[in-house]
Amino acid sequence: MDGILIPWVMATTLLMFLAAYWIYQLERRVRDLQDRYHSVAQVAMAMLEEPQAAALLPLTQRLDTLDQRAQKLEEGFADVTRTLAHTVQGIGIVRYNAFEGVGGNQSFSLALVDPTGSGAIVTGLHNGTSIRMYAKPLANWKSSYSLSPDEQRALGAARQHMQA
């Protein structure tokens, strides 16, 4: 008995979703028509009161709409500007031989910093058979850990990248 009901339940559910989507589309169309009706009614009322001003009403409505859009764009631009101050903008990388006898400059130090000098330095030391990775935090162009000369060079390269 249950096997017979499953297709009917699925079909009914599908029809309900289709009906809900159709109602949503109809409501959206009605809302659009209502908006158009209100704008035409405003023009008609303005024509009755002052025929000269009625010609300018659609233009003033469009200017209001454009002003609202410009305000939203300015707010978005302010958000992007605030966020940009905390993104990685300076990148410096130095490749070198960390150990004698291991060639190919496989070790590296990578500095990733924002405009205030906050970020991290990632160092990978290659010894021929394995690589060890270390990360050191940065704040105001300084680390709470001591920096190797190669890490300092990477930090200097990141600072130069910021100024370029």
pLDDT in tens, 40-91: 887 777 777 777 766 777 788 888 899 999 999 999 999 998 888 888 989 9
Spell out the domain ranges in the chain.
31-84, 90-163
Residue 94 pairs with which residues in a beta bridge? 109
The share of the chain scoring above pLDDT 70, in percent, equals 96
E strand or H helix at 57: helix 51-84
SS3 94: strand
Residue 56, number of CB atoms within 10 A of its CB: 12
Return the residue matching tokens 């490749």.
Answer: 95
Contact 146, 155 (CB under 8 A): no
Mean pLDDT of 116-142: 92
SS3 17: helix
User: What residues contact residue 143 under an 8 Å CB cut-off, 6+ apart?
Assistant: 121, 136, 137
Beta-carbon-side half-sphere exposure of residue 147 (alpha carbons within 13 Å): 21
Structure pTM?
0.56
What digits encode the pLDDT tens for the residues 154-163? 999 999 988 8
- Widest pairwise Cα distance in the chain: 94
Q: Is 109 a residue whose pLDDT tops 90?
A: yes
